[in-house]
Amino acid sequence: MTMTITIPNGSTSPNAVANDLCQAQGFLEEYGVWKEAPVLIGTTKFEPLPDVKNIMVTGGAGFIASWLVRHLTLTYPHAYNVISFDKLDYCSSLNNTMVLNDRRNFAFYQGDITDPRDVLDCLERYNIDTIFHFAAQSHVDLSFGNSYTFTHTNVYGTHVLLESAKKVGIKRFIHVSTDEVYGEVKDDDDDLLESSILAPTNPYAASKAAAEMLVHSYQKSFKLPAIIVRSNNVYGPHQYPEKIIPKFTCLLARSKPVVLHGDGSPTRRYLFAGDAADAFDTILHRGQLGQIYNVGSHDEISNLALAKKILAQMGIVGGASCSSSSSSSPSASCPPPLSSKEKEKAGDGVDTGAGAGAGDGDDNGNDATTLTRWIKYTHDRPFNDHRYAVDATKLRALGWRQRTSFDDGLRVTVDWYRRFGERWWGDISKVLTPFPVLAGREVLSDHEPVSDHPPGVTGRGE
């Protein structure tokens, strides 16, 4: 297969099409920024499967799927052809896979999973035998205000894919779901197994659970060979800065404070994207059809503690665990502290030293004034699950391991956003607000009230 980019009724030369797409879609990515970035993939490699040849990855220009697209294309250059299928929604970037454009076993297809013509055309044109289905509206915050879009893409779009997959006799359909389908897990509860009931609490999670029901029904009614994967939070380079880690890093790099929803106490578990790519590679090669696999991390942290960790990684407060110890970690060095220009922009209250300050503060010795300068609060989501917790024993039994510690992964991620965050997706200003809204493909800023204290807490002197 030679590299092609397919756009219905569009131009044919790969680079010309890439440029056309960027301009026609209003993309503002700086041309060529991808050339400066490291090529990031997972670490696993298996004996190629004889019945897998042409793999379609939906949502391939988005965050997690682009890690898998790069991983599969570069790890199995002679065994698998990889076709990235993406609508190029607001959160995507062709920069995520631009490094593959000269690879013979890679192609990009601009298509919409809710359009059966696009899906069938891609399946037939590339003789697809395996589908990884990642494409989705993936941002919980947006789902409170744009819930029809979530149902349309995540439920109807999955239905279109399933029906099309049935039509062409697909051999493997790996459906990417989320730990959010289980709903909230209490502090003292056990980690959830794949057999636990689904009890989603927000429109995003509900749409993902509904999509799973359709997958299940196609397995039963039509013997569609499917696997369902439920992952906890994934983080790393290439994630659109609407999610907490890249958003907070980009805000701090602009010398702006981060804004927590509610009191910042909800916790999440985080898995580095390279480990997630390994999980999907493992499930492709060793997973059993008809099964469900949780993908879980050991690293659980509250939003407030995470904010402080990012401040430390940026060199703004003390407490950074910035060592380059782990041999299994991605290669990266500690990011430099804020430059003098960044500090100057930040003005008073910037504490770049470790263990700053006397008086009230936190366990790392950061004084309250410094934290108040950098951490603000706004109202919470309509409902915010306190935590999620899945048990990944079943996946580990296939040989998968979480290799990247949170400290190492966070260091790599913060460093990447400081270098490329402002250029990768074009102007990201509007998405950096606490609760941005979406109008079509356009992200709009919100004007939510922001305070120095969590809602309901009054600060000294107020």
Contact 82, 74 (CB under 8 A): no
Residue 64 touching ligand NAD (CB under 6 A): yes
Q: Phi and psi dihedrals of 339, rounded to 5?
A: -70, 165
Of the candidates 90, 182, 204, 235, the residue annotated as catalytic is 204
Alpha carbon distances (Å) from 265 to 11, 127, 189, 304, 390: 50, 48, 17, 6, 19
Q: Which one of 89, 112, 118, 180 is the catalytic residue?
A: 180
The least CB distance from residue 96 to ligand NAD, in Å, is 8
**Is-contact 196 391, C-beta < 8 A?**
no
204 is catalytic: yes
Tell whether residue 183 is a contact of ligand NAD (CB under 6 A): no
Q: Which of residues 133-172 bind ligand NAD (CB under 6 A)?
A: 134-136, 138, 153, 157
89 sits near ligand NAD (criterion: CB under 6 A): yes
User: Which residues lie closer than 8 Å to 180 by C-beta, 6 or more apart?
Assistant: 140, 200, 202, 204, 205, 208, 385, 388
State which of residues 112, 299, 351, 415 lies at the interface with ligand NAD (CB under 6 A).
112
Touching ligand NAD, residues 213-232 (CB under 6 A): 231
Of 179, 281, 408, 415, the active-site residue reads 179
Is 240 a binder of ligand NAD (CB under 6 A)?
yes
Using CB under 6 A as the binding rule, whether residue 330 contacts ligand NAD is answered as: no
As a whole number of angstroms, the distance between CA 91 and CA 27 comes to 11
Among 17, 88, 392, 395, binds ligand NAD (CB under 6 A): 88
Residue 304 as a binder of ligand NAD (CB under 6 A): the answer is no
Q: Are 293 and 395 within 8 A, CB to CB?
A: yes
Single residue of 70, 71, 172, 208 touching ligand NAD by CB under 6 A: 208
Question: Which of 274, 271, 228 minimizes the C-alpha distance to 71?
Answer: 274
Location of structure tokens 């502290």: 337
Between 374 and 388, name the residue whose CB sits nearer to ligand NAD: 388
Judge whether 315 and 337 are in contact, CB under 8 Å: yes
Pick 183 or 257: Cβ nearer ligand NAD: 183
CA-to-CA distance for 381 and 107, rounded, in angstroms?
39
Q: Which of 234, 316, 395, 410 binds ligand NAD (CB under 6 A)?
A: 234
Chain residues in the site for ligand NAD (CB under 6 A): 58-59, 61-65, 86-89, 91-92, 112-114, 134-136, 138, 153, 157, 176, 178, 208, 231, 233-234, 240
